[in-house]
Chains A and B, each alone.
Chain A
Amino acid sequence: MSSSKIIVPEVSTRGISRRSLLIGAGAAALVLASGSMAFAQDPLKIGFVYVGPIGDHGYSYSHDQARQAVEKEFGDRVKVTFVENVKEGPDSERVIRQLASEGNELIFATSFGFMQPTIRVARQFPKAKFEHATGYMKAPNVGIYNGRFHEGRAVHGTVAGHMSKSGVIGYVASFPIPEVIMGINAFTLAAQKVNPDIKVKVIWLNTWYDPGKEADAAKALIDGGADVIVQHVDSPAAMQVAESRGAYAFGQASDMSRFAPNAHLSAIVYDWGPYYIERVNKVLDGTWEPEDKWWGLKEGLIQISPYNDKVPEDVQQAADAVKNGIIDGSLHPFTGPIKDQKGVERVPAGETISDADLLKIDWLVEGVQS
């Protein structure tokens, strides 16, 4: 029998506030510490920190699906704990430190705002290994990983360019950080390739998760003339608005078509499972090193969910051509000439933006209104 059978975090702590979760996990750690002496092979303890609730059906949900994939893959060889709804900033530092002090040897901090807290905690726990998603700060025991979300945006931009009749696309965005800006730019450039006059209106919400606000933003965009809604926030609220207003929409992080069977054209789906499994394998066989991984369509981390029947065959083919071009490397979503909002040329014709420059991009392309 493995000690991991003593407590199953998912069942016993799911949805309960993270304080009680941590207390529970702490108690579990005590039980495990006393009970595990008899076993030669202790399971690898892994912690996950999510910014939203696992039930958001979006970003945190996608990480939690991957966590379940890790548990399925490794079974008794790992013992996984997760903490959801962790606020970015100081609060997350406390949560990450708690996970580290409970003996988790591998901790995945899955949101941008966990970056500095992760780095600080990593300094205090040199033996633990940390993986931080979507950031840029590394350390001897902190690796970073990210998804090339913008590759999916380029595919969707192609579809949107064909489907928009008004020529105005509404973008419900969270924070003006590189990850989001990159997506808006890739989407706009791809849509402009189809229809050069297309305009993308952006509303910044400065939050990742507030269904009410997300819905309000989608309404405001549609009232402003948009007939296609894209979102880079975490709930399906904007999809519902698009459905009720007769607009089209693209979901993010998971397939949201249930909420908008007519409006939902496609979604970008994140599959972090293969990445997490690879990292856990590396820790188990002792070859883990801090790396900087940026997986996309090619590695399967970013996937395009099935198109709605409303997307005509030829449009689907055009979108698939973009997808396949990105996968085989023949097409780069950021190929010059690219001008910024002020009309200044940022990328000369024929050139592309390097990954390093992309990761700190802070300008929007021509045609974006925000």
Chain B
Amino acid sequence: MELAVPIIVAIISAATPLLLAASGELVVERAGVLNLGIEGMMLMGAMAGFAVTLLTGSHIAGLAAAAAAGMAMALVFAFLTLTLSANQVASGLALTIFGIGLSALIGSAYVGQPVAALPKLDVAGLSDLPVIGPLLFRHDFLIYFSIAMVPVLWWYLNRTRAGLRLRAVGESAEAAHALGHPVIAIRYGACLFGGLMAGLGGAFLSLSYTPMWAESMTAGRGWIALALVVFAAWRPWRLLVGAYLFGGVGIFQLHAQGAWGLPSELFSMLPYVATILVLTVISAGAARSRTFGAPAALGRPFRPSG
């Protein structure tokens, strides 16, 4: 089937921004912090990445700027919720609204300008192979990076001392604190990583997916990334599956439209129906076993005593 290759390539693109942003949020939530500001951080990343690439002509500078912008946003959130112990849900929502507005304000100068897309990998011989070339050897850096981060995160969370500490903080901040772990510092680090990944997710949109800057161009992907973390039960490998499943259904429905004479609205809701279905199945299974997988201290502020 000759259509299969372009469909899979499109699915990879559609899944990448979700995977990047959700990977960051997964770490944030494993540390016990709920940051609802992904959309805002992504938009700031998208805008900063685009603007800096446009001004300097360097994609590396653009990606660095996107990561920095996401981290700067995350720092605001971390300061509010970790240092000042503000409510995480309210602060996260505020961060999203703030990010939408600020990115639109600063980005207004860059609307309507084209920029060169992130360069694709080009390995002599390999990239030109039929089927395998476009599937494996013709993507840009962020796509490889997003996939590579999955095993890295798994390893970090499950096989390293630092990962164990992070999970301990997310399960019981008090216990981790009693053991002498710097709860607030670890959570700061997690938040910054979340911002970095969300910023890169946004940059993927403005530098690769649709190489342009437009206000609110994330169009709700930050929220989907948030849902994917739950969907994945806070596990990196499941996150990979979830992001590709969600991206896949979204692309599939475009190709399937009109195929069986079904109304287009039905296809448009498919990705969301799939999400609900899988969530239902997972949580039903989880209820029978032990836990749903949510970090026990998720969303609970911690104030060190003494």
Q: Which residues of A contact B (CB under 8 A)?
A: 14-17, 19-20, 53-57, 85, 176, 201-207, 209-217, 219-220, 223-224, 235-237, 240, 244, 258-259, 369-370
- Of A20, A53, A216, which one neighbours B214 at CB under 8 angstroms? A53
Give the residues in chain A near B209, CB-CB below 8 Å.
211-212, 215
- Asked if B210 and A220 make an inter-chain contact with CB atoms under 8 angstroms apart, the answer reads no
Q: Is the CB of A259 within 8 A of B114?
A: yes
Is B167 positioned at the interface, with any CB of A under 8 Å from its CB?
Answer: no
Q: Is the CB of B97 within 8 A of A17?
A: yes
Smallest CB-CB separation from A254: which chain B residue?
B112
Q: How far is the CB of A52 from chain B (nearest CB, A)?
A: 8
Contact B6 A55 (CB under 8 A): no
A236: chain B residues at CB < 8 Å are 212
CB-nearest residue of chain A to B3: A223
The distance from the CB of B220 to the nearest CB of chain A, in whole angstroms, is 8
Is B282 at the interface (CB under 8 A from chain A)? no
Nearest CB on B from A184, distance (A): 13
B101 adjacent to chain A (CB < 8 Å): yes
Which B1-53 residues sit within 8 Å CB-CB of chain A?
A: 3, 6-7, 10, 13-14, 17
Question: Interface code B107-121, partner A: CB below 8 Å = 1, 0 otherwise?
Answer: 110011110010000
Contact A17 B101 (CB under 8 A): yes
Q: Considering only CB atoms, which chain B residue lies closest to A20 in the complex?
A: B101
- Residue contact B214 to A206, C-beta cutoff 8 Å: no
Within the complex, which residue of B101, B216, B250 is in contact with A216, where a contact is CB–CB below 8 Å? Answer: B250
B 141-198 contacts with A by CB, 8 A: none
The size bracket of the interface on B is 35 or more
Q: Which DSSP category, helix, strand, loop or mixed, fits chain B's interface?
A: helix
Offer 16 A-B interface pairs, CB within 8 angstroms, sorted by A: A14-B105, A15-B215, A17-B97, A202-B257, A203-B264, A207-B219, A209-B216, A211-B214, A212-B217, A213-B250, A216-B13, A223-B3, A223-B6, A224-B255, A237-B210, A240-B210
- Alpha-carbon distance A325/B251, docked complex (angstroms): 41
Closest to A237 in B: B210
Q: Which residues of B contact A235 (CB under 8 A)?
A: 210, 212, 214, 217
CB of B304 within 8 Å of the partner chain: no
Question: Would you call A206 and B268 a contact (CB within 8 A)?
Answer: yes
Contact call B212/A237, Cβ cutoff below 8 A:
yes
Taking the complex as formed, is B211 at the interface, i.e. its CB lies under 8 A from any CB of chain A? yes
CA distance A77 to B10 in the complex (A): 52
Distance to closest chain A CB from B103 (angstroms): 8
Q: Which of A210, A216, A236 has the most CB of B within 10 A?
A: A216
Known contacts A216-B10, A259-B114, A370 near B108 by CB under 8 Å: no
Contact of A202 among B112, B221, B258 (CB under 8 A): B258
Query: Is residue B63 within 8 Å, beta carbon to beta carbon, of the partner chain?
Result: no
Across-interface contacts of A204 in B (CB, < 8 A): 257, 264-265, 267-268
Determine whether the beta carbon of A258 is less than 8 Å from that of B214: no
CB of B219 within 8 A of CB of A209, answer yes
* In contact, B254 and A217 (Cβ under 8 angstroms): yes
A144 to B94, CA, bound (A): 37
In the complex, which residues of chain A have a beta carbon less than 8 angstroms from the beta carbon of B226? none
Query: CB-nearest residue of chain B relative to A220?
Result: B254
Does B205 reach chain A (CB closer than 8 Å)?
Answer: yes
Tell me the bound Cα distance from A220 to B256 in angstroms.
10
Report whether B104 and A57 are in contact in the complex, using a CB–CB cutoff of 8 Å: no
B73 within 8 A of A: no
| Known A204-B264, A216-B14, A237-B210; contact A85-B216, beta-carbon cutoff 8 A | yes
Known: A204-B268, A215-B210. A55 touches B111 (CB 8 A): yes
Are B108 and A14 touching (Cβ within 8 A)? yes
Task: Return A58 CB to nearest CB of chain B, in Å.
Answer: 9
A206-B265, A223-B3, A223-B7 known; A216-B254 Cβ under 8 A:
yes
A133 to B85, CA, bound (A): 47
Name the residue of chain A whose CB is nearest to the CB of B218: A212
Give A241's nearest chain B residue, CB to CB: B210
Taking CB atoms, residues of chain B closer than 8 Å to A209 are 216, 219
Which single residue of chain B is at the shortest CB-CB distance from A53? B215
Contact in complex: A370, B216 (CB < 8 Å): no
- Give the complex CA separation of A210 and B212 in angstroms: 13
- Closest chain A residue, CB of each to CB of B111: A55
Query: Which residues of B75-119 have CB atoms within 8 Å of chain A's CB atoms?
Result: 97, 100-101, 104-105, 107-108, 111-114, 117
Question: In angstroms, how far is the closest chain A Cβ from the Cβ of B228?
Answer: 15
Bound CA–CA A214/B210 (angstroms): 9
Q: A55-B111, A55-B215, A216-B251 given. 15 additional CB < 8 A pairs?
A: A15-B108, A16-B105, A55-B112, A57-B111, A85-B215, A201-B258, A203-B254, A209-B219, A216-B14, A216-B250, A220-B255, A223-B7, A235-B212, A258-B113, A370-B258
B209 to chain A, nearest CB (A): 5
B171 to chain A, nearest CB (A): 36
Asked whether, in the complex, the Cβ of B105 is within 8 Å of the Cβ of A370, the reply is no
Q: How far is the CA of A205 from the CA of B14 in the complex (A)?
A: 15
Q: Mark B248-286, 1 if CB is under 8 A from A, else 0.
A: 001100110110000011011000000000000000000
